[in-house]
Structure 1
Amino acid sequence: MVVIHMLKESGITVKQAIEMDCLKKSKIVAGHRGIHNIISKVNIMADPDIFDWVSEGELLLTTAYSFKKDDIAMQKKFIIEASKKKLAGIGIKIYPYMDGLAKEVIDIADYLGLPIIDIDYATPFTDIMTPIFKEIFNKQAALLQKVERVHNHLMDVMLREGGIKEIIKTLKKIIQNPIVVRDHYFDTYIYHMEENETYDYDTLIEKSNKFFDRNNDYKWMNIKTERIEVLKDKEVKRIMIPIIVKGNVYGHIFVWEMSKEISNYDQVALESASTIMALEFLKKSSVYAVEHRYKAEFFEDLISNDEKRKERAMSRANIYKLDCNAYYAVFNIFIEDAEKDMEFKNKLVLNLEKLCVDQKMNTLIIGKEKKIYIITMWRSEKNIKNKLNIFGSKIDEFMKINVKDEKYKIGIGRIYKGLGQIHRSIKDAEKAIEIGNIFSKEKVVNFEDLGIYKIFCQERLNEELDKFYQETLLPLVEYDKNKNTEFVKTLQGYFETNGNIKKTSELLFTHYNTVLYRMQRIKEITGRDIEDPEDRYNLETALKIMKILRYL
């Protein structure tokens, strides 16, 4: 439904009213500057407290009987109150109650631009009200028809699946000014440019981006706003109208007053277009949500232990432009707070897809709970690791900008030949994150760079690793717990300083002789001699296993 607000096009001006037959014997005696004020309706003053009941745009009819002839202050106050209420004008039957308005009253009306019409005393108020109301009604009916035609035309464009760009093209024929639509959901700008246009859309989009960059909350402004922008050293009015879907702002329509004045009718057309664009936005976001759900189902089938599900996924791989015989590596992006804000995570997925397109990467991206998986496909095995690390840096840059407090970790799995091996790269990426959280402060961890930790984190070795740990380091750990000593910490410091006792004491803020004593006690408790290469290697390895198995 299209709602007509109080517009120029839905009322008549004071000048048009004074030219009507009903007021042909009347004249404007003050406030000529306001002759283009819009009359939306007519009211009669029948109560001294009339200003409690009037509304903007009214033509107020009264007689000078209510004016105290010699009370100029009261008359001036009456004019000021009428102006504050934004009345279109005042029609007064001055004669026979007064000879005329005082110069001070006329001056204040002139200053405020409030038209005062001297109404012929013999003309009944009903003879004025009826024809003016009829004229206003006819104007509103004509405007409704005009707006309805525009609305139907825009709906027709949408039903023909013309899309946002076609709606903009239709709008521009009416508004004759540049129009840009900002899609917040997909983070894009949409516009239509004719061959003979000279508008600089790049500059307009840049201006819009700066507007939102200043305050991200501007994206959620749900009311029409106007502001003045400077374009090529010229001040230009810009109107921004929200596109609202299910109570949420999905985008905005921007219009710049560059070729002609943006009329109130133009604004009604824009508001009508915003409701139609909202339907298009809803359809677009719904399609994307369905597509992502299908991708998630494909992904689950692909990594399933059920061979039938896996075969079904392999048969559909070509839908996502995946070659079953290519090389694959998986990025796992772990985000701490992602599951609390699904809309935020979906937006991340969407923007990561754009990043992959910009980097010309052949990928499939899936969001799942706190994780986002990026499956990368490669035609050749040559130099893939280096390319993965470079792309990992790009993802890291993206995440630093988009994730608060940088609460994320990125794991890169090993490269495997064949889509059916993708589950192995996923496990590698997850292990890279787990080990990275223990040993690395870096946000991006490549499984291939973990060295010996690649062996330690194999699940099938957990039992052997645990047994090795118990035989070597566990006695020292239990001694620390029981005696409240720091032998494990001392041993760690010893290996961190490459066996330099002096540097170990400095690292631990402990006396040199105390460290020597502790090293001797470590030998006695563990039965391992730190001077023996094999014992030293076993103790250092046990410390790494301890961290991996999360014993501390």
Structure 2
Amino acid sequence: MAEPSATSGVTEINQENRTLRDLVEIYRHLSGLALQDADIGTVAELIARRTAVTVAVISQKMGILAAASPGESYEHSVQYVHDHLIHPRLAHLLAMAGKTRRALRLPDPARNAAMIVAPILIGDTVPAYLVSLFVPPVEDVPEQSEDTHLLIAEHAATICGVILARERVITSAGSQVRDDLIEGLLSGSGRDHDEVVRWAHHLGFDSERNHRVLSVLIEAPPGGSERSKLVAEHAAAATARLFVAQSPDAITAVRAREVIVVLSEPATPGTGIRAEQLGALCVQRLGALFPDVGVSIGIGGGFREPAHIARSYEEARRTNEAIRRLGRRGAVVAFDSLGISHLLLQVPDPEALREFANDILGEVLRHEQEHQSKYVATLKCYFQENNSLRRAAERLHVHPNTITYRVRRVEEITGLDLENYRDRLAVQVALEILETLGEAEV
């Protein structure tokens, strides 16, 4: 067997030296990208250009985070990766590399070829993979050995991990700043008006439009288990997504059992979805997705100045807490629509309200249960029409004499005189209590 000539030995050494120099240069460029705040797309472009292969960064869910092919556009590269890499067996191949925590040369069943898969690590997690798909070599680009390709892929994956980790930190920090700004607006802790305006505008608040704050209270399924808490968290996240999807400029904050939404009203009256409609849609969607989760929504008063965000939130919160305390699960209540109910809802003990209403109209309610009469509805309509027998009769589609009879009958049952201011006021308050508690059709 002929021994290798000295010339061939020198050639091999020179080739190894060139390969080593290329490897060192690629390493240096990759490390430089991490220092230059580059993104993972730039890493993919560098590897594709220097190794003459198509490179992609694939997420755990098979999403294409970045792609690059020598001499091709980004769009063409993404399409190429989608057509030649994304297939049912890919998840299994990625998992293999993820378990080893190192770059592997694996078969590419979609093209009957091979590819290198390098897991991208952030701490102990593998959020993505760097994949090299081999294509015919490009002229004037030196070919690397298999081991060299593996080394390059591993180092590139390390750099991608550094970049992704940095992006996570930046995103987390930005999210924390955003949350702090929202909390400052909701609490009214701004030091002066200009500061509050800056905070609001930084969050995308449009001072040219009216806004309202919604407080969405989320009640976890019964049991208090970890699963119940997790379901409630998912319901809260889904609530925030729903409002942003329906109103992209909505400002949301998610707490442990509450989602707060600063919602802009339609620019033109009569167009778009109003806060009450979105609230009802939210209750409906959550009821379908999370049937065991309780939800109620309080809507604060309208405002245009950012300084009034805290007031509207306080109105929404107090309204929501009160209606939940009264057992009105699934209710959507606007503060502006409460009227005297706003005061009634501030009573700590709902039983005290029930006792008052029962003292005034208890006999009437019992009479209605026995005889299916319409006294409560008649009284409500009669008072709403400012004691007009004719208008009340028109609304209820009865003769005015029927209204007269029912009013007089109430006086007989209760012993009250509805011509007397105090008696009439007591009956009106009792009717409002019954409506607020939702315990009678009025």
SS in 2 for 1:276: helix
The one-letter code of the counterpart of 1:295 is: R
**Distance in structure 2 (CA, Å) of the matches to 1:212 and 1:340:** 35
**Distance in structure 2 (CA, Å) of the matches to 1:229 and 1:434:** 62
Closer, same or farther: CA 467–448 of 1 in aligned 2, 3 Å: same
Aligned length: 363
Closer, same or farther: CA 307–242 of 1 in aligned 2, 3 Å: closer
Alignment-derived partner of residue 420 in structure 1: 307
What are the residue-to-residue correspondences of 1:19-418 with 2, within 5 Å? 20-21=3-4, 145-182=21-58, 189-192=65-68, 195=72, 199=76, 201-202=78-79, 204=81, 221=98, 223=101, 234-235=111-112, 237=114, 239-257=116-134, 263-306=146-189, 308=191, 312-332=195-215, 336=220, 352=241, 356=244, 361-378=248-265, 380=267, 382-383=269-270, 386=273, 388=275, 407=293, 409=295, 411=297, 413-414=299-300, 416-418=302-304
SS in 1 for 2:191: helix
SS in 2 for 1:303: helix
The one-letter code of the counterpart of 2:333 is: F
What runs of 5+ residues in structure 2 fail to find an aligned partner? 138-142, 221-225, 375-412, 416-425
**Distance in structure 1 (CA, Å) of the matches to 2:197 and 2:172:** 22
Higher relative contact order (CA 8 A, sep 6+): 2
In the TM superposition, residue 383 of structure 1 has moved relative to its aligned partner by 3.7
Alignment-derived partner of residue 355 in structure 2: 470
The one-letter code of the counterpart of 1:416 is: G
Partners of 1:334 and 1:370 within 8 A in 2: yes
In the TM superposition, residue 272 of structure 1 has moved relative to its aligned partner by 0.7
In the TM superposition, residue 339 of structure 1 has moved relative to its aligned partner by 12
Deviations 1:56-100 (A, max 9, x none): xxxxxxxxxxxxxxxxxxxxxxxxxxxxxxxxxxxxxxxxxxxxx
Closer, same or farther: CA 447–226 of 1 in aligned 2, 3 Å: farther
What runs of 5+ residues in structure 1 fail to find an aligned partner? 1-17, 23-131, 478-489, 501-526, 548-552
The one-letter code of the counterpart of 2:198 is: S
**Distance in structure 2 (CA, Å) of the matches to 1:238 and 1:400:** 47
In the TM superposition, residue 302 of structure 1 has moved relative to its aligned partner by 1.3
**Distance in structure 2 (CA, Å) of the matches to 1:399 and 1:265:** 53
In our comparison, the structure showing a higher alpha carbon Rg is 1
In the TM superposition, residue 276 of structure 1 has moved relative to its aligned partner by 0.9
**Distance in structure 2 (CA, Å) of the matches to 1:210 and 1:331:** 44
The one-letter code of the counterpart of 2:197 is: M
In the TM superposition, residue 160 of structure 1 has moved relative to its aligned partner by 2.5
In the TM superposition, residue 230 of structure 1 has moved relative to its aligned partner by 6.5
The one-letter code of the counterpart of 1:253 is: L
In the TM superposition, residue 436 of structure 1 has moved relative to its aligned partner by 6.8
Partners of 2:56 and 2:65 within 8 A in 1: yes
In the TM superposition, residue 252 of structure 1 has moved relative to its aligned partner by 2.6
In the TM superposition, residue 388 of structure 1 has moved relative to its aligned partner by 4.5
**Distance in structure 1 (CA, Å) of the matches to 2:322 and 2:84:** 43
* TM-score, structure 1 as length reference: 0.48
SS in 1 for 2:187: coil
Partners of 1:338 and 1:369 within 8 A in 2: no
Partners of 2:212 and 2:303 within 8 A in 1: no
Deviations 1:452-487 (A, max 9, x none): 6x8646576416965432234599x9xxxxxxxxxx
* TM-score, structure 2 as length reference: 0.58
Closer, same or farther: CA 247–535 of 1 in aligned 2, 3 Å: same
